């Protein structure tokens, strides 16, 4: 206790104590606002999470569509377009049907056509002009031999037509890839403003557009598989329409078949172009306002997101119409 009294009675202690009290009072009177911006920090963090989520959803949609591209059924080899079940492929099935069921029918139709043509030649023959008639018969035999060769090799001919379309698909993919990537480094699809309401609205639209893109993905797969199945079926029944080419009255049926088969093959090129151009178009929408925020309000955010949603719906319609467009290319 004596030491304490002595310390309190010391003038230096008194001066030091007084100075400490003054400093503490000044610190309390002028506090530093260390945590004054905590609300803004939380708001910025929430907006960053929402913005990153929206951009991730949009990028995932493009990646999903890009997965359908040239590595899938669109450019598969003719023998492996629809895979296999064990050691039997769809190619084996349709070729067996072609060889054992359809080819005899095609040869029979060709024989009937040859008979009709022979009757026409015989009607034009004159008893006093035998040599012109013999000449026509010889030409008819050569004509029959050529068409017999075409009928007996019709499956390989259809496979060759598909191979030409496959080359076009591979070259298209070599030029542009299976789908471009969105460049989000300069401009964000989601609003760059820290507006929670705008980002929540954008997130809702992003989720809706993801559902639409999933539908587009399924439609693209269905269209691609349906195209492969149609190619197989048409190739299996090729002997019948090819044999009809030999008769003037039925030649348009055979020509129409060849045009339709070529259109089905070319539909793969159209599908690939659609899948390649989809992210490019989206990237064009994204880069339309480079250097400034894409949207800065709820209304603007919804407007841009609805444009994105409309493009997804347009992709679905285009995939469904790809076969019709290919037939238009081939003249209907």
Taking the whole predicted model, whether its pTM rises above 0.85 is answered as: no
SS3 287: helix
Average pLDDT, rounded, for the chain: 75
pLDDT, tens digit, 9 for 90 and up, residues 238-268: 999 999 888 888 889 999 999 999 999 999 8
Q: Are 258 and 123 in contact (CB under 8 A)?
A: no
pLDDT, tens digit, 9 for 90 and up, residues 47-101: 788 878 877 877 777 677 666 555 567 778 888 887 666 678 888 899 999 999 9
SS3 88: strand
Residue 120 — very low, low, confident or very high, per pLDDT cuts 50/70/90? confident
Q: Which helix (H) or strand (E) holds 85?
A: strand 84-85
Q: Are 46 and 196 in contact (CB under 8 A)?
A: yes
Q: What is the DSSP letter of 30?
A: S
Name the token pair of 274.
């659609």
Alpha helices in 125-250 (DSSP H): 130-152, 154-176, 196-236, 239-244
Residue 291 — very low, low, confident or very high, per pLDDT cuts 50/70/90? very low
Helices 196-236, 251-286: crossing angle, 10 deg rounding: 160
pLDDT, tens digit, 9 for 90 and up, residues 178-234: 544 444 333 345 555 666 777 777 777 778 878 877 888 888 888 888 888 999 999
Residue with tokens 């009607």: 123
Indicate if the alpha-carbon torsion angle 204, 206, 209, 213 is positive or negative.
negative
Going from N- to C-terminal start, the domains of the chain cover 61-329
Q: How far is CA 108 from the centre of its chain?
A: 43
pLDDT, tens digit, 9 for 90 and up, residues 293-319: 444 455 555 666 677 778 878 888 888
Residue with tokens 């070529």: 262
Report the candidate in 46, 49, 54 with the shortest Cα–Cα distance to residue 202: 54
Give the angle 279-281-283 at the CA atoms, nearest 5°: 65
């Amino acid at each position: 206790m004596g030491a304490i009294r002595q310390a309190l009675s010391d003038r230096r202690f008194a001066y030091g104590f007084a100075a400490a009290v003054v400093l503490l009072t000044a610190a309390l009177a002028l506090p530093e606002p260390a945590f004054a911006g905590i609300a803004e920090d939380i708001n910025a963090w929430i907006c960053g999470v929402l913005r990153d989520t929206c951009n991730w959803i949009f990028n995932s949609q493009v990646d999903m569509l890009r997965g359908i591209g040239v590595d899938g059924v669109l450019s598969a080899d003719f023998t492996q377009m629809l895979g296999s079940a064990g050691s039997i492929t769809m190619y084996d099935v349709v070729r067996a049907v072609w060889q054992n069921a359809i080819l005899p029918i095609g040869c029979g139709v060709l024989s009937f056509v040859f008979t009709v043509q022979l009757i026409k030649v015989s009607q034009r023959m004159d008893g006093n002009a035998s040599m012109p008639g013999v000449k026509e018969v010889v030409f008819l035999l050569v004509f029959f031999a050529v068409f017999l060769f075409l009928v007996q090799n019709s499956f390989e001919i259809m496979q060759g037509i598909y191979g030409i379309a496959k080359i076009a698909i591979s070259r298209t993919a070599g030029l542009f890839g299976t789908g471009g990537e969105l460049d989000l480094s300069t401009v964000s699809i989601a609003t760059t403003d820290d507006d929670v309401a705008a980002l929540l609205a954008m997130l809702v639209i992003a989720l809706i557009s993801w559902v639409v893109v999933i539908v587009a993905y399924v439609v693209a797969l269905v269209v691609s598989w349906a195209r492969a199945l149609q190619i197989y079926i048409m190739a299996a029944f090729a002997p019948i329409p090819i044999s009809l080419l030999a008769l003037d009255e039925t030649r348009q049926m055979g020509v129409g078949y060849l045009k339709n088969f070529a259109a089905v093959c070319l539909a793969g090129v159209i599908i690939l172009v659609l899948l390649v151009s989809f992210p490019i178009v989206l990237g064009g929408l994204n880069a339309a306002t480079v250097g400034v925020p894409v949207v800065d309000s709820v209304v603007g955010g919804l407007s841009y997101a609805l444009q994105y949603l409309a493009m997804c719906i347009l992709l679905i319609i285009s995939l469904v119409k790809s076969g019709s467009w290919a037939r238009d290319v081939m003249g209907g």
